[in-house]
Amino acid sequence: MPDSPYYLLLQNKVDAAKRSLERLRSSGNVDTEMKEIVAAVERQRAERGRLVDLFIVDSNRKATLIMTVLNGTQHFSSISVMVMNLHSILDDAASMVSPSTAAIIFSVIMLSAATISSSMMDRTGRKMILSISSFVTGISLAVLASYFSVKNSGIDVSSYSWVPVVAVMVYAGAFKYGLGIVPIVMTGELFPTSVKAIGMTFADAMYASFSIISIYLYQFLIDAYGMHVPFIIFAATCLSATVFIIYYIPETKGKTLEEIQFMLKGRTYNHDETNRSVNA
């Protein structure tokens, strides 16, 4: 795989950057896009990348908010909890499938969903995949929460022991299809070059923090209120995130870094304006 045109331009390798872009595009004429990338790199070189820029620059602040919400949703969709406690969750649910067998099926479904998502991401778009994933994940968690709530109330649910197994397997596929993979891709797409390293480091720190918080919160809630309560919270998080994704996150499929930055700033991208800035 060739180095990206952005990286090569940052190394002052203009000819190599153009050749790289030509290999990445089916069309041989890349002059217009090359000018746009040059303009973006020159503008970002003039900016100093500081941690504070993630919060004082409007486009960076929006990118930081998006990544914080997505990283939070990843873990408050219960993925860390599910991976660490799958055996005990299914044991408590008195499911019809043994926890060890369920764990194998769970892993196979996640791998399959990740493969499908990777092949569809550039055709379907990040936003649609994220929306579907977040919504279906939320529904599967709501079903799981409802099952535990009914079971904990003393009602006999032995004839419905298949419900938690199906809910967990749907969860595995839905989560990995979008929430488990798209935020990783978008972290590299949303931040401009000047703060990309800082932004990705901050996103990783948030990812780890949310993982720890979700695990401790889960343990506290099941001890204090029962198994159904944390899953109600996890389901509500995913369903709320679906609304956030639909109305707040831009579609980055097929967009250059410059176009994405204009979208984050709430401005309409103008090729002529970009070309004038390069030729000035």
Return the domain boundaries, the chain: 1-46+256-280, 56-249
The pLDDT, as a whole number, for residue 179 is 95
Q: Of 187, 189, 233, 224, whose CA–CA distance to 207 is shortest?
A: 187
- Alpha-carbon distance of 76 to 211, in angstroms, equals 8
- The single residue listed with the structure tokens 């998006």 is 66
pLDDT at 16: 83
CB atoms within 10 A of CB 193: 18
Fold type of domain 56-249: Growth Hormone; Chain: A; (1.20.1250)
> From CA 64, how far away is CA 103, in angstroms rounded?
34
pLDDT at residue 278, as a whole number:
38
Q: What are the structure tokens assigned to 27, written together?
A: 């069309």
Using DSSP, state whether 148 is helix, strand or coil: helix
pTM of the model: 0.81
Distance CA 98, CA 36 (A): 56
Q: Please give the Cα distance from 184 to 219 (Å, whole number).
A: 27
Angle subtended at Cα 167 by Cα 162 and Cα 168, rounded to the nearest 5 degrees:
100
Q: What is the pLDDT along the chain (280 residues), one digit of tens a residue?
A: 557 777 787 777 888 888 887 777 766 677 777 887 787 777 666 666 788 888 988 889 999 999 999 999 999 999 999 999 888 888 877 777 787 888 899 999 999 999 999 999 888 999 999 999 999 999 999 999 999 999 888 888 888 888 999 999 999 999 999 999 999 989 888 988 778 889 999 999 999 999 999 999 999 999 999 999 999 999 999 999 999 999 999 998 888 777 888 888 876 665 555 444 434 4
Predicted local distance difference test score (pLDDT) of residue 209 = 96
Backbone angles phi, psi at 268, to 5 degrees: -85, 130
| pLDDT attached to residue 48 | 63
